[in-house]
Chains A and B, each alone.
Chain A
Amino acid sequence: DTGVSQDPRHKITKRGQNVTFRCDPISEHNRLYWYRQTLGQGPEFLTYFQNEAQLEKSRLLSDRFSAERPKGSFSTLEIQRTEQGDSAMYLCASSPGTAGTEAFFGQGTRLTVV
């Protein structure tokens, strides 16, 4: 039984570079979520998908961020022209999508922009 998988676990990049993260959800889960978390804070919602459709996107998400889930399975989150303020833990979660059910998280990708 595999859980949510994220790759890479850690990424160090220079300011201005583009980065892409991948998330593989639990196979039967149709909902996939991206969150961002800074040290000591709760996760902050970025966006979520129902199958391949992106249903909601946080107003806090700048145009430099884009997410895709092309076949309703894995998802990618791309950050263009990274800034130091993008340094954070990026978390992916999936859920069956039935109202009242819980989300299961991956181990996260730690991004450091230098």
Chain B
Amino acid sequence: TQLLEQSPQFLSIQEGENLTVYCNSSSVFSSLQWYRQEPGEGPVLLVTVVTGGEVKKLKRLTFQFGDARKDSSLHITAAQPGDTGLYLCAGAEDGNQFYFGTGTSLTVIP
């Protein structure tokens, strides 16, 4: 059972465009993580958000945690081919297991 739904599932854009990926749930999480994964490798942590309404920026990436701590978004400005990968959100309930989203596969075309 997937507690976290991501949209879109697939995204193909031109270099330089902006994009937003959404992660939604009906559950409340104590924290939410975003990961990026390349084929054949494990997920690499990008950011953790813990406070409702929190916004974090990592260079061209902006992460937001919903006020109710049920949803999150990832916005990429001026996408580059190096941003290509599978983006995963994961929610933690009181530090127990992490529930992963369905993933968003991003392709940035040069």
Asked whether A99 lies within 8 Å of B40 as measured between CB atoms, the reply is: no
Q: Which of A38-46, A65-73, A75-83 contacts B (4 or more CB under 8 A)?
A: A38-46
Chain B residues proximal to chain A, CB less than 8 Å = 2, 4, 6, 30-31, 33, 35, 40-45, 48, 50, 86, 88, 90, 92, 94-103, 105
CB pair B97–A98 under 8 Å, yes or no, is no
- Decide if A2 is an interface residue (CB 8 Å cutoff): no
Are A101 and B95 touching (Cβ within 8 A)?
Answer: yes
B50 nearest CB neighbor, chain A only: A100
The one of B48, B92, B96 in contact with A56, judged by C-beta atoms closer than 8 angstroms, is B96
Contact pick for B96, options A35, A48, A106, A110, CB 8 Å: A48
Contact check, B43 vs A91: say whether CB atoms are below 8 A apart.
Answer: yes
**Which chain A residues lie closer than 8 Å to B94 at the CB level?**
99
- Do residues A91 and B42 form an inter-chain contact, with CB atoms below 8 A? yes
A48 touches B42 (CB 8 A): no
Nearest chain B CB to A58 CB, angstrom units: 9
Residues from chain B with Cβ under 8 Å of A45 in the complex = 97-100
A101 contact from B35, B48, B103, Cβ within 8 A: B48
Q: What chain A residues lie within 8 Å of B98 (beta carbons)?
A: 33, 45, 93, 103
* 11 A–B contacts from the bound complex (CB under 8 Å): A6-B42, A42-B88, A93-B42, A100-B50, A101-B48, A101-B95, A102-B48, A105-B44, A107-B42, A108-B41, A110-B40
**What 14 new A-B contacts, CB under 8 Å, besides A102-B48, A104-B45?**
A6-B42, A33-B97, A33-B98, A35-B100, A40-B86, A40-B105, A43-B88, A99-B95, A100-B30, A101-B31, A101-B92, A101-B95, A102-B33, A108-B42
